[in-house]
Structure 1
């Protein structure tokens, strides 16, 4: 059985809980090399996503992802709103007209999300951004089941996020710090890793 709209809503509820749980950590990571609002913005954005689901019950996976996209774009400040919003919007377009998502469909959605982030943020691997987590996740996203595919993606994203620590930022506010940006994990890479882990844990239930 594939991943339905209801399955996605369940996964996004788990993601919202994860963001809330790690809000302070994300604030601290962003305070070190950014303006300190990433955790607050992400938490506010995903709370708004949950509120949207209370009033709007999307009937397809694509519709679920589009609600997330439009909500994050309108509610999340900083770079995260446009970047995550674009990611979910591209993912939505990639699975249009499907009632259920196979593992291959999920992989295609992840790939489209990465393409959206790259197009919007103009970041490349090694720039110390969320691309450093999402890129490896897309490459690793393989498996016979959604749980296998998402677990592989989440593992790769976690490794990618850790790998941003020694990097010097070349994009975003952190790039203004130059060499001083080294030694800190990129908050966007960390939040990407957290979201994928939440999705994977729901799929494994």
Structure 2
């Protein structure tokens, strides 16, 4: 699958999931996570080869645009240039942890990304998706230590992290499309 096909499919997925992602985000933040992703992916979908993740970052804006853009950049490099996915996502994880001052257990997208990166060390993308799903689901019982969710009653405990949900969707789509290729 090409990066163009992946970003087109991801845009369609974000369009279909926008309301659900916004509702998940409304419980923990400002309720615009799905809208933000869709805005960035709309711009990325029309961008030139090699510039999709950057277009996403510019259009989506804010902290989440940058953080998700780091993941999308590595996926784009993997699809366009054959860059190793495990190394790229590990690099994205390190940058996200540094920029967001977050670590696993803080109730963020990193709770899905970190176990996925660890599972990818064996080169198994389906196992990475399963690990991301487990990490995503674990955020329900976590108390947020970063982001807007930390200010919600009980730090958002009892609610799933929307960033972990969308990160898992991105990886699942990649596994699905690479499996079909």
Instruction: Spell out, residue by residue over 1:84-120, the C-alpha distance to the aligned partner (whole angstroms, 9 max, x if none).
Output: 123344x38987xx97426xx1111111111121121
Q: Does 1:165 align with 2:140?
A: yes
Distance change >3 Å, CA 101–CA 134, structure 1 → 2: same
- Aligned residue number for residue 26 of structure 2: 31
**Alignment partners' CA distance in 2, 1:193 and 1:68:** 19
CA contact (8 A) 1:92 1:109 kept: yes
- Provide the aligned length of Structure 1 versus Structure 2: 180
The unaligned stretches of length 5 or more in structure 2 are none
**Alignment partners' CA distance in 1, 2:57 and 2:21:** 19
- Aligned residue number for residue 110 of structure 2: 131
Q: 1:106 aligns with which of 61, 85, 88?
A: 85
- Aligned residue number for residue 41 of structure 2: 46
1:7, distance to aligned residue in structure 2 (A): 2.1
Q: TM-score, normalised by structure 1?
A: 0.80
- Aligned residue number for residue 7 of structure 1: 2
Structure with max Cα Rg: 1
Q: What is the RMSD of the two structures over their aligned residues, measured on CA atoms?
A: 2.3
Distance change >3 Å, CA 120–CA 87, structure 1 → 2: farther
The unaligned stretches of length 5 or more in structure 1 are 1-5
1:193, distance to aligned residue in structure 2 (A): 0.4
